[in-house]
Amino acid sequence: MFGGDQIIREPFHTGGKINWAYIQQLDTLSFNKAISFIKEYGYPTESLVGKQNYEHECVAASFVSILLHSPHLIVNNKEHFDLLLNEVNKGNLDKEFFAVVLDKGYLMQKKYKYVLYGTEAFGMPCSDIKERTNKARAEIGLQPLADSLFVDCD
């Protein structure tokens, strides 16, 4: 899964043209495979796949890459969100990483244009959604943000 996710991005690294529509289709297929795996076995962890297997980048990074390439499929789908939240609650998926994926999902969509969780990777949320942010953070097991970590977006 990791190889398939990465190889389609190779033209980007070599200066070639990328067909983004094609990449999005493949990302969706990879995401659906990952979701099917998680439904059947759980989010891949060292204890699930074995330490020797998990030490390989292609194992440890595959679901990380897949989730980061399709965060909108989590933000816009409660079933996917709930499945992954369940993995956070089991301790299989890091809650801070889950917040990063969700922030990317909010930020990349035209209908939102903001981050909700306030992660280092994507910045701080607007002060006018402070209550919503802290409620969302609590839902995934994160502490509320201090008032100083919100920005004025007017």
* Cα–Cα distance for residue pair 138/147, rounded to 1 Å: 15
Q: Are residues 57 and 38 in the same domain?
A: yes
The confidence band for 154, taking pLDDT boundaries of 50, 70 and 90, is confident
Question: What is the mean predicted confidence (pLDDT) over 128-136?
Answer: 96
pLDDT at 90 over 70: yes
String of DSSP letters for 98-144: HHHHHHHHHHTSTTT-S-SS-BTTTBPPBGGGHHHHHHHHHHTTPPP
Q: Are residues 93 and 27 in the same domain?
A: no
Please choose, from the candidates 10, 132, 68, the residue with its C-alpha nearest in 3D space to the C-alpha of residue 145.
132
Number of H helices, E strands in the chain: 11, 0
Q: Which has more confidence, 58 or 84?
A: 84
- Write down the pLDDT at residue 13: 52
Question: What is the mean predicted confidence (pLDDT) over 32-55?
Answer: 87
Q: Which has more confidence, 11 or 92?
A: 92
Residue 65 buriedness (CB in 10 A; 0-12 / 13-18 / 19+): buried
Q: Are residues 51 and 109 in the same domain?
A: no
Residue that terminates a domain, selected from 45, 70, 95: 70
Residue that terminates a domain, selected from 55, 70, 85: 70
Q: 16 is in which domain, residue-wise?
A: 1-70
Residue that terminates a domain, selected from 49, 70, 91: 70
- Interval 13-34: pLDDT, tens: 555 666 778 788 888 999 999 9
- Interval 49-83: pLDDT, tens: 778 766 766 667 789 999 999 999 999 999 999 99
pLDDT at 106 over 80: yes
Q: Are residues 93 and 45 in the same domain?
A: no
Q: Are residues 56 and 84 in the same domain?
A: no
